[in-house]
Amino acid sequence: MSPIRVHTISLGCPKNRVDTERMLGVLGNGLVPADSASEADLVLVNTCGFIRPAVEESVDTILGVIREAEAASPRPVIAVTGCMVSRYGAEDLSADLPEVDLWLSTRELGNWPQLVGAALGKKNLDAMGPRRLSTAPGYAYLKISEGCSHKCAFCTIPSIRGKHVSRTLDELEREARLLVEQGGVPELVLVGQDVTSYGRDLDMKDGLKHLLDRLMPIKGLKWLRLMYLYPAGLTDGLLKHLAGLGRPLLPYFDIPLQHAHPEILSAMGRPFAQDPSLVIDRVRKHFPEAALRTSFIVGYPGETDKHYKALKQFIEHTRFTNMGVFPFHQEEGTKAADLPGQVAQGVKTRRRNALMKVQEQISRERLEGLIGTRQEVLVEEPSPEWPGLHTGRVWFQAPEVDGVTYVSGPKVKPGKMVMADIEQAQSYDLVALA
């Protein structure tokens, strides 16, 4: 098969990135990355459609690709995939953007190779092949499931991605070994809409435990990180099991709490609508050294000053290692979009900024406490501006969502782990010398 020049743009979450990497793998060893649409045979835009700003970003990106592609000769095939296509449908989108050659929803994921192959005039793209990683050296995402069966009132994911569907243990172990043992990736980051639900649809009891038992012994795996852990799934039994595993499992807990007040959590339809301190205390009982990451929504319909102050006090008391705060968006098709008590945009913005200011101070204080310590750093990429300086991460910094560690020294190379002395701390980042 002749080489295919591909320009890829992957928007949204790590789960989307995995889909993009699988599609690139299907295109085979003859794939040649193209730096721009004008240099490509195929432009693949994998969209996000979770909230309105993500949709707007997707549309703006597509329009930019169209402008560049229309000026190229020959014109590349434009394929738009992912969540925005699933949410709005190819028929409506093609009416607004007729320049796009191919619309592929997430429900057609298994057929993406054949459809793209037909558009390119290639007949042998007929199966999902090995992934072609697009992340920085040193880590890869392992998507363990698709979709979500929870019914949170604000969320569009179930309507876009469908119900929760777990991949099999054998399939995941095979992919993990390929990434680590053959690909040399030292860190795997497990992702899914709810990682704690893994295996339930397969009638598997304690599915996450069984999966970790398969992955932990993989030779060469240095760090194993769990993302998207629903609080309801973090039971004493699971946490006790995790505490007994040790490395390479990191004591890093990404728990999307969304709020701290029971009234707002109940209105959200969250599977855990109790006092979130209960799950935080449970985690810290088994993992006193735990790094805790979470995300919150401010300005949910009906959120009063009382609810907001309770959230602020909870953040100040809990002192999360990493945290994100997002203003509520009225998403068409969700129950929350039509609820009474909608909060003004200005109020949402002020609340979000105030909470992030609190977190910034907490983060700086935590990081300053590490100055003078020696830490293991996973090196990622060289700095384009400072020769000899690289970006990397210590164990409590997840890729793409947390801060980074700037590291320099003679042993520093992308994809390698080095021991380094922490010399400086910023609000979210560290500076180290190996």
DSSP string covering 78-124, please? EEEEEHHHHHH-HHHHHHH-TT-SEEEEGGGGGGHHHHHHHHHT-S-
H-assigned helices in 262-336: 262-268, 277-286, 305-318
In a domain, 128, yes or no: no
In a domain, 414, yes or no: yes
In a domain, 145, yes or no: yes
Rounded average pLDDT over 377-390: 91
Work out the end-to-end distance of the chain between its first and last CA atoms, rounded to an integer number of angstroms: 45
- Cα–Cα distance for residue pair 281/299, rounded to 1 Å: 26
Q: Quote the domain boundaries for residue 412.
A: 374-433
In the structure, what pLDDT confidence band is assigned to residue 334 with cuts at 50, 70 and 90? very high
Task: Say which CATH number the domain at 426 has.
Answer: 2.40.50.140
- The answer on 330 and 189 residing in a single domain is yes
- The answer on 198 and 303 residing in a single domain is yes
- The answer on 248 and 190 residing in a single domain is yes
Task: Say which CATH number the domain at 35 has.
Answer: 3.40.50.12160
pLDDT tens per residue, range 185-240: 999 999 999 999 999 999 999 999 999 999 999 999 999 999 999 998 999 999 99
- The answer on 94 and 239 residing in a single domain is no
pLDDT tens per residue, range 265-321: 999 998 776 789 999 999 999 999 999 999 999 999 999 999 999 999 999 999 999
In a domain, 50, yes or no: yes
- Cα–Cα distance for residue pair 232/404, rounded to 1 Å: 30
CB 287 within 8 A of CB 247: no
Tokens 């009638």 sit on residue: 203
In the structure, what pLDDT confidence band is assigned to residue 32 with cuts at 50, 70 and 90? confident
- Cα–Cα distance for residue pair 396/399, rounded to 1 Å: 10
Which residues, other chains included, contact 246 with Cβ-Cβ below 8 Å and sequence gap of 6+? none
What type of residue is 301? P
Which residues, other chains included, contact 259 with Cβ-Cβ below 8 Å and sequence gap of 6+? 265, 268, 270, 276, 296, 297, 300, 303, 307, 311
Handedness of CA 397, 399, 405, 407 (dihedral sign): positive
Task: Say which CATH number the domain at 268 has.
Answer: 3.80.30.20
- Cα–Cα distance for residue pair 302/215, rounded to 1 Å: 43
Cis peptide before 248 (omega within 30 of 0): yes
In a domain, 131, yes or no: no
pLDDT of residue 23: 81
pLDDT of residue 124: 62
Of 120, 153, 174, the residue at which a domain comes to its end is 120
pLDDT of residue 29: 63
Give yes or no for residue 72 having a pLDDT over 90.
no
- The answer on 96 and 53 residing in a single domain is yes
CB 434 within 8 A of CB 411: yes
- Tally the C-alpha atoms within 13 A of residue 333's C-alpha that lie toward its C-beta: 13
CA angle 72, 73, 75 (to 5 degrees): 70
The rounded mean pLDDT for the chain is 92
Task: Tell me the percentage of the chain whose pLDDT exceeds 90.
Answer: 72
Backbone dihedral angles phi then psi of residue 104, each to the nearest 5 degrees: -130, 115
Task: Tell me the percentage of the chain whose pLDDT exceeds 70.
Answer: 97
**Helix and strand tally (H, E) in the chain?**
13, 18
Structure tokens at 56: 């707007």
- Cα–Cα distance for residue pair 337/77, rounded to 1 Å: 37
Number of domains in the chain: 3
Whole-structure pTM over 0.75, yes or no?
yes
- The answer on 400 and 354 residing in a single domain is no
Segment holding 321, helix H or strand E: none
pLDDT of residue 107: 81
Sheet of 77-82, strands arranged across: 31-33, 4-10, 42-47, 77-82, 102-105
In the structure, what pLDDT confidence band is assigned to residue 28 with cuts at 50, 70 and 90? low
- Cα–Cα distance for residue pair 204/123, rounded to 1 Å: 38
What type of residue is 51? I
pLDDT of residue 270: 87
pLDDT tens per residue, range 105-134: 888 877 777 888 788 877 665 455 578 888
Give yes or no for residue 27 having a pLDDT over 90.
no
Q: Which residues, listed in sequence order, are joined to residue 105 by a DSSP beta bridge? A: 82
Q: For 71, left (φ over 0), alpha (ψ -120 to 50), or beta?
A: alpha
